[in-house]
Structure 1
């Protein structure tokens, strides 16, 4: 009897130990859930935001003041006084064409001018003496008229010589190719000693402060552009706009090859862009207000998109899966076309863990990428 009693006591101890072990294993299963099984989630209230109907294109930067320079005389290049890409001032000499023959012609014209001026002075004095002699009766009227005519002829010859001299001086100036305005020198495809003609472009000058961007858009899109209101943005390497300017020109007809319409916008160059450079350009056709739903608040089942709204339940706060209709993406949010209304509270964290009707513990959404959640939301979260 004593042996049986001891065995029963041992069996009871083993059973109690097993029960304790089972209870110990049940305790930690709650994980991140609260005491009532509710899952902590971040919540925000939907509100309107700016949505832009925009499209990105390849644009080209053009100088609003650009000129291709050609010499006005033919001859050999005597000197090149600038380098490609150099900034120059208005009137600065860029290139010189050999002007030795022109200088010789100018000296000859100056000599003729000096001779004509001397003849004019002599003829004037002769005419004055003839007038005095005629008055005193010492010269005939015919001789006097001849002296006056010679004076007039000498005056005309002197004026012609002066004009010829001035023309030669102007012609000499044509042997210097100067900058018509301040800007940046382009390529110089000629060298010292090369023979150039007035039909040959020797360089160019671009004014880089006032630029414009040219964008080719489809015909149907061009019909939506409003001059002075539609905006063109130039994007940096990260896709962020660094220049924004209104459209000032829309071509009346599309180009024959591509059937695209040219659109232009002018801007001040504050970012170091260069004329002729290709850039990423975004045309903002329309800006409107619409509800925005963060992309990280969206779950999908097949082709249907859902959001989890936070609503009161029988035993506390629960989430309800709500189908939504989404539009275009604006930043990190979808345009909400249908399914939810302004002010509706939606869960923005742990979306993949949520189930319809699941109890939750709502808390304000933190900025996306925070160390606390890794997803974040908006600053106007619901409670």
Structure 2
């Protein structure tokens, strides 16, 4: 009996030891595998290209400054026009009627002015001879002054109505080519409504949209290389002539105008272009961190630095201050230095001081 008790006790002890050994094996876990990147200075030296459309540097929308129906329309797509050439005319019925009424009023005012002037001369002679009173003389002077003011007003009215008639004509403001036509003869148009577009410049320019992350790298006078999809075998040089100081609401970018240094006959308005900024024009070297390495919570933005602790790799939560987002990541203002290693994946699953392995 005693022998059986000893054997049973021995089996229980062995079972307990075996169970503890398994628990210890289960408790031993390998550190988390973490993907990382070493932070380096970036000089953004790669070429940057933007798409745009070629157009003349002077684009004029043609429109009437009056309302009416188009009675003459000498405008065709692609037509070459000379400065001062009559392109379109309105019926101008109301303007001509108003002009005639202004002429009638001017003639009446002129006649009244002549009459009051003669009356003033007669009254002045009579007053000097003592045959007219001072009040009669003053009344004659006032009548002449009023008639003169009315006449001057009528002349201004005639001039205004003449301008109104001129507003019913469109003359080519510059030599150029009609690039677009929006109206036709007998169409009713409103004042300021564009009826055609005139390309009148001497040079070709391309308008491109630059995001805010890159706009500070572009200044007036920068040199570019321009290629056209319609002319694949030739590249052209260009110069930045305008940089918009404010963001365009329509495109959410900053508009930049690049003018071709040598406008050739091969290039037509409307051709698709690619503008490439040369490597020499780059941002200064700055510390850049991948966007996915930056986390944010109620305490602010942070990264997980990878540091060695007694020959063991751990992650350390560290606050960071970032700048603008570039194509390579966020510019670093403070928080990390060149050569630091940071986790770039699974930030939500990491804990401050957690042991890790590098992937």
Q: TM-score range by the shorter chain?
A: 0.5 to 0.7
> For 1:39-188, what aligned pairs fall within 5 Å after superposition?
54-188=47-181
Q: How many residues align?
A: 236
Corresponding residue for residue 352 of structure 1: none
C-alpha displacement of 1:261:
5.4
Q: Secondary structure at the match of 1:273?
A: coil
C-alpha displacement of 1:134:
0.7
C-alpha displacement of 1:157:
1.4
Partner Cα separation in structure 2 for residue 165 and residue 257 of structure 1: 43
C-alpha displacement of 1:108:
2.1
Change (3 A) 1:227 1:187: closer
Gaps of 5+ in 2: 1-44, 282-359
Partner Cα separation in structure 2 for residue 146 and residue 251 of structure 1: 64
| TM-score between the two structures when normalised by the length of structure 2 | 0.58
Q: Is the 8 A contact 2:52 2:273 kept in 1?
A: yes
Partner Cα separation in structure 1 for residue 60 and residue 182 of structure 2: 15
Corresponding residue for residue 276 of structure 1: 270
C-alpha displacement of 1:266:
1.6
Matched, 1:237 2:231: yes
Partner Cα separation in structure 2 for residue 252 and residue 205 of structure 1: 27
C-alpha displacement of 1:172:
0.7
Change (3 A) 1:253 1:76: closer
Change (3 A) 1:169 1:134: same
Change (3 A) 1:118 1:221: closer
| TM-score between the two structures when normalised by the length of structure 1 | 0.54
**RMSD, matched Cα:** 3.0
Change (3 A) 1:138 1:277: same
C-alpha displacement of 1:131:
1.0
Q: Is the 8 A contact 1:208 1:274 kept in 2?
A: no
C-alpha displacement of 1:101:
3.1
Q: Is the 8 A contact 1:184 1:208 kept in 2?
A: no
C-alpha displacement of 1:113:
0.8
Gaps of 5+ in 1: 1-51, 288-383
Question: Which has the larger Rg?
Answer: 1
C-alpha displacement of 1:57:
4.3
